[in-house]
């Protein structure tokens, strides 16, 4: 990922509506997985550590992060509470498992070999374990923000399901999310394209009342996703298991 993006992430992920809303959605989804009481959890691509305290409410957490600056920020931010190791995907994953939950939260889109990464993680799964994945959705939504973050691609549901299947994982749950704000996101991206903006709109934390409103709108999808899948959205969220014959 762009090194400048890590600095921006470290400064905003505690407050920005997108991170706040995503954590609310993920907390709800993980809570419904009924993980073991002493679950072992691995976050692949932990960035600057914004998800680690949330994941720690569900079990014992360790993390892989390839960028040294991001690891340092994550370790400082979390007070050294977590085992955060250097590594790359798919070739250098410095953990043996087994894990009850492996999370790749907006990570696969940064990796050249996304299928190979999922294949490499599959042997680390305990029986009945899950892989939780979030990715940006719809290639036609590609924007300057994707370029800034060094994304390789955005995903459709069929594509993500198929790549997971190739890696020996079956989808237990696959839904779009960030749906409520989808029309606004499309409008912003079209505006950026028409005006040929080099820096994508929406990266900075909005004024507090706007930020709070957007965070509540995104967070409300936790209630929706507890009850049904969403048919479109800016992102995809998937829960996968190892295929019996994979």
Question: What single-letter DSSP state applies at residue 206?
Answer: P
* Alpha carbon distance 176, 26 (integer Å): 13
The token pair that represents 196 in the structure block? 């040929």
* pLDDT of res. 3: 57
Kindly tell me if the per-residue pLDDT of 1 is higher than 70: no
Task: Please tell me the pTM assigned to this model.
Answer: 0.93
Residues 6 or more apart whose Cβ sits within 8 Å of residue 120: 89, 90, 91, 93
Beta-carbon contacts of 122 under 8 Å, excluding residues fewer than 6 positions away, are 131, 167, 168, 169, 242, 246
Average pLDDT over residues 154-169: 98
Q: What is the largest CA-CA distance in the chain?
A: 52
Distance CA 230, CA 104 (A): 20
- 199 has pLDDT over 80: no
pLDDT of the residue at 4 = 60
Contact status, residue 154 vs residue 146, Cβ threshold 8 Å: yes
Taken in order of first residue, the domains within the chain and their CATH numbers are: 3-241 (3.40.50.150)
Selection from 83, 46, 80, 48 nearest residue 65 by Cα: 46
Predicted confidence (pLDDT) per residue in 99-139, tens digit: 999 999 999 999 999 999 999 999 999 999 999 999 999 99
Q: Give the pLDDT of residue 7.
A: 66
pLDDT, tens digit (0-9, with 9 covering 90-100), for 234-243:
999 999 999 8
Which token pair is 47? 């960035």
Mean predicted lDDT score pLDDT of the chain: 92
Total residues found in the chain within this entry: 246
> What six digits make up the tokens of 190?
């079209």
More confident of the two residues 131 and 8 = 131
Q: What is the pLDDT of residue 198?
A: 63
Q: What is the pLDDT of residues 167-188, one digit of tens each?
A: 999 999 999 999 999 999 889 8
Whether the per-residue pLDDT at 202 is higher than 80: the answer is no
């Amino acid at each position: 990922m762009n090194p400048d993006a890590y600095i921006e992430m470290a400064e905003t992920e505690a407050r920005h509506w997108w991170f706040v809303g995503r954590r609310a959605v993920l907390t709800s989804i993980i809570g419904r997985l009924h993980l073991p009481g002493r679950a072992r959890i691995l976050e692949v691509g932990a960035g600057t550590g914004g998800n680690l305290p949330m994941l720690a409410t569900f079990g014992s957490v360790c993390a892989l992060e390839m960028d040294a600056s991001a690891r340092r920020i994550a370790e400082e931010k979390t007070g050294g509470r977590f085992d955060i190791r250097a590594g790359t995907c798919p070739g250098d994953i410095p953990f043996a498992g087994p894990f009850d939950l492996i999370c790749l939260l907006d990570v696969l889109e940064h990796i050249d070999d996304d299928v190979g990464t999922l294949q490499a993680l599959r042997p680390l799964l305990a029986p009945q374990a899950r892989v939780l994945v979030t990715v940006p959705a719809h290639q036609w939504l590609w924007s300057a923000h994707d370029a800034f973050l060094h994304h390789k691609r955005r995903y459709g549901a069929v594509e993500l399901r198929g790549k997971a299947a190739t890696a020996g994982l079956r989808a237990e749950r696959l839904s779009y999310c960030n749906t409520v704000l989808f029309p606004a996101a499309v409008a912003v991206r079209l505006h950026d394209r028409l005006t040929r903006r080099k820096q994508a709109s929406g990266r900075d934390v909005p004024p507090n009342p706007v930020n709070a409103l957007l965070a509540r709108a995104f967070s409300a999808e936790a209630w929706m996703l507890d009850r049904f899948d969403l048919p479109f959205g800016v992102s995809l969220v998937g829960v996968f298991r190892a295929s019996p014959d994979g």
